[in-house]
Amino acid sequence: MSNNHETNTPVSLRGLSADDPHLQPAARKPARVEKVISISFVFAIIFGVLFIAAFVQNWQPYILGGSLAGSLLLLGIGLVAWGKYLMPRGPFVEDRHEFRSSDEDRAAFAAAIIQRGGGVVKRRKVITGLFAGGMGVFSLGALFPLLRSLGPLPKGTLFHTDWRKDAYAVDITGRRVLVSDLAIGSIITVYPEGKQDSENGQAVDQTVLIRISNQDFTTMKGRESWGPQGLLAYSKLCTHLGCPVGLYEQQMQLLVCPCHQSMFNVNNGAVPQFGPAPRPLPQLPIYIDADGYIRAQSDYHEPVGPGFWERS
């Protein structure tokens, strides 16, 4: 017991005799541990060779990764075991030193800053102020062009889309959509003609066209002509965070945003009936021309997508 207690008492590393029990291996049978570690290293070498072979032969990633993992793991385990069982067992101790400097040093340090530095600044108030002002103006001046040159100003771009009066609705391939293309319960993503391949067309103009009946459909007061033959066009940008609202539940008459599950009722103007979206999806006024093509009456009457400061 007492022997155990003695060897478990931490000692300083300095001035230990070579045969001190603290410097002996921790393992009771070092030879056996060494054998195990050797085996581990031998297998690590084998895995390493396998890794090289897998790389040269371009074998499957799992062979490549598996051999790499085996090699690294066995090397690591062997090395840890070496350190843990075959190296000086300790425990060792070292003293901490107080961080606090002596009172004289502290006073001298403070004095150096306050008296020497402060004196210089206090006596030269005008140029100190001017220097600070100069640096400030420079920083602001440097910051502004740096930020400003990153990109254009938003101006009115967030308020408009590319939908114009009489613009044809086309699908992703650029084909004009006919009213007879859509059976009841259909959904299609449409773009203003010519914009289906553009970044802005995809990101801002995207509109879902759904058909909920064969009769003209009014989603809310003032939109009597917006839903000819039961066709409704809503902005595909969720008013929450702008994900495409591509999930249409035909029987529930719901458009659902796949990102955060806002649910919009298509019957009453896409008013959100569940989830975090704060506003209805803007509805695009459309009409059917004499040839049966679906065309826009105008742009959206409000900004599409998520909220921003300038939006009223």
Partner 1 sequence: MIGSFFKRAALLTILGVASAGPLVLFAQGADAAKQPYQTGRIDSGTPNSTTVVKDSKGAVVSYGNSSITYNAPPTSLIGLGRALYMQNCASCHGTEANGVPATGSSGSYPALVGLGPATVDFWITSGRMPAADPRAVQAMRHVQKLTDSQALAISSWVNSLAPSYPYIPTPNLATANVSNGAALFALNCAACHTIEGDGDALASNTYAPSLRNIPAVQVVEAIRTGPANMPRFTGNLSDSQVNDIVKYVTTEIQHPNNPGGLGLGGLGPVAEGFIGLALGVGGLALFGFWVGERDE
Partner 2 sequence: MSETLNTKRAKKLAKGPFGGVGHALNEIDDRLGAAKGGRTFLDKIFPDHWSFMLGEIALYSFVILLVTGIFLALYYIPSTAIVTYHGTYMPLYGQKMTEAYASSVNLSFAVRGGLLMRQMHHWACDIFVGALVVHMARVFFTGAFRKPRELNWTIGTTLMTLAIVNGFLGYSLPDDLVSGTGIRIAYSILLSLPVVGSYLAFWIFGGNFPGTMVIPRFFVLHEFIVPLLILGLVGAHLALLVRQKHTQFPGPGKTEENVVGTPMFPVFMAKTTGFLLIVGGVTAALGAFAQINPIWQFGQYHASNISYAVQPDWYMGFLDGALRIWPSWTFHSFGHTIAFETLVPALILPGLVFNLAYAWPALERKFTGDNAIHHLLDRPSDRAVRTSVGVATLSFLMMLFIASSTDVIANFFHISLNTVLWAMRILVVLVPLIAYPLSYKICKEMQSFKGAGKRKTTNVVTRTAEGEYVATASPRYVDDVPSHLAPIPVPKFITELDSVKNVDEGNGTRVVDR
- Which positions touch partner 1 (CB under 8 A)? 60-62, 65, 80, 84, 171-172, 177-178, 180-189, 210, 212-214, 244, 246-254, 256, 258, 261, 263, 265, 271-274, 278, 292
Site for partner 2 in 6-45 (CB under 8 A): 8-10, 13-14
Separation of alpha carbons 266 and 307, rounded Å = 20
Site map for partner 2, 44-83, x if CB under 8 A? -----------x--x--xxxxxx-xxxxxxxxxxxxxxxx
Distances in Å between the Cα of 275 and the Cα atoms of 206, 240, 259, 270, 279 are 22, 9, 11, 13, 11
In the chain, what's the furthest Cα-to-Cα distance? 105
**Token pair for 186:** 């259909």
Q: Is 283 in the site for partner 2 (CB under 8 A)?
A: no
> Which of 41, 244, 253, 265: binder of partner 2 (CB under 8 A)?
244
Distances in Å between the Cα of 134 and the Cα atoms of 128, 139, 144, 290 are 10, 9, 15, 69
Cβ-based nearer residue to partner 1, 196 or 299: 196
Cβ-based nearer residue to partner 1, 3 or 173: 173
Cβ-based nearer residue to partner 2, 217 or 248: 248
Are 246 and 232 a contacting pair, CB within 8 Å?
no
Residue 10 burial (CB < 10 Å; 0-12/13-18/19+)? Answer: exposed
**Token pair for 238:** 């969720």
Cβ-based nearer residue to partner 2, 1 or 126: 1
Q: What angle do CA 201, 204, 208 make, to 5 degrees?
A: 85
**Token pair for 225:** 């002509």
> Which of 28, 31, 94, 173: binder of partner 2 (CB under 8 A)?
94
DSSP conformation letters of 281-311 = PPBPPEEE-TTSBEEESSS-SS--SS--TT-
Q: Minimal distance in Å, beta carbon 269 to partner 1?
A: 11
Q: Is 174 in the site for partner 2 (CB under 8 A)?
A: no
Site for partner 2 in 203-222 (CB under 8 A): 203-204, 206
Report what 10 binds from partner 1, partner 2, none; CB cut-off 5-8 Å by kind. Answer: partner 2
Report what 292 binds from partner 1, partner 2, none; CB cut-off 5-8 Å by kind. Answer: partner 1
